[in-house]
Amino acid sequence: MHIFSASKPVNLILSVFLLASFAALADDSAYRSSVEKWRQDYEATLKSDGGWLTICGLFWLHEGENRLGSDPHADVVLPPGSAPLDAGKITLSAGKVTVRLIPGVEAYFAGQRVAAGAAIELVANAPDSQITLGGLTLAVHSSGDRLSIRLRDMNCRLLHEFTSLRWFPWDARYRVTARFTPYNPPKAVEAQNLAGDIVKLTSPGFVTFKLAGAEYRLEAALDDPQKPNLIFVFRDLTSRDETYAAARFLDADPPKGGAVLLDFNKAYNPPCAYNPYTTCPLPPPANRLQVRIPAGEKKYLGPH
């Protein structure tokens, strides 16, 4: 009796199956490596000199003159020893912010030393519009209609006490292709942030996708009005106790052929999860999903 009379076809089928299995394992391994690298790069950026952990103060400006210095009673308080008790004044007038330092305070603007008594105008949310004093930088940040001074310090306590981020294990089920529906023209939307202000965003459209057989929808926003990359501010049922309660962020490439790839393994916390001196938008009602998405970044526990 020739039990293995059909061994050649069987072996061929087995070989094809094994090759497909090895290819799938290789794809999984490559994908897992790419997710792990993305997470490592994200944490490195967070801890970099220009990262969110170097922001050590947020001072709301009032109309008129705001005192600047290391005096704890100043309107904009600098770290002790970094500047005189009275280092100058920051004037807010009709939405325009001007800084005038007292003689003897060494500072730089646009790579040039600030002349004694010179008035320097700072533009809100402009990366190159900032004044440097030693290891400190002062820039204007807008939150809705309010303006503030955002202080960066390379010796910020938040940076030195930072522990590490926590992530859910990667899971390919939470890497999904969504259908993109554009708004024509893009829609202006308003969202509240954690500071209680209303911020204006631009939404180019929304996406619909399936998880565990059910369909969900997320409103997209433009990460940068000058670029087509998308960002999703969302909340899900893990926000109750496993992830940051306010929201998480998810970045995505522009739509291709009406499709957007959503990889929730790369969902991350907004800077407010680590830093009380930041302002972050809250998700619109449409982006508060009634489903658990145990993927991406978990709640930051802070220093132990």
State pLDDT tens for residues 136-177: 999 999 999 999 999 999 999 999 999 999 999 999 999 999
Q: What is the pLDDT of residue 5?
A: 46
Q: What is the pLDDT of residue 1?
A: 42
User: Which residue ranges in the chain fall short of pLDDT 50?
Assistant: 1-5, 17-25
DSSP E strands, 102-197: 108-109, 112-113, 119-122, 130-133, 136-143, 146-153, 175-192
Distance CA 277, CA 210 (A): 36
The DSSP annotation for 17-33 comes to HHHHHHHHHHHHHHHHH
Output Rg (C-alpha) for the chain, integer angstroms: 25
Q: What is the pLDDT of residue 227?
A: 80
Query: Which residues have a Cβ under 8 Å from the Cβ of 246 and sit 6 or more positions away?
Result: 194, 235, 239, 270, 272, 273, 280, 282
Distance CA 272, CA 52 (A): 9
Q: What is the pLDDT of residue 223?
A: 78
Distance CA 195, CA 272 (A): 10
CB 239 within 8 A of CB 207: no
DSSP type of residue 102: P
Both structure tokens of 235: 């909340």
Residue type, 7: S
Q: What is the pLDDT of residue 124?
A: 95
**Closest alpha carbon to 209 in 249, 260, 254:** 260
Q: What is the pLDDT of residue 47?
A: 93
Distance CA 57, CA 74 (A): 13
Domain range summary for the chain, segments of one domain joined by +: 52-160, 163-287
SS3 content of the chain, % helix, strand, coil (to 5): 20, 40, 40
User: Which CATH topology does 52-160 take?
Assistant: Tumour Suppressor Smad4 (2.60.200)
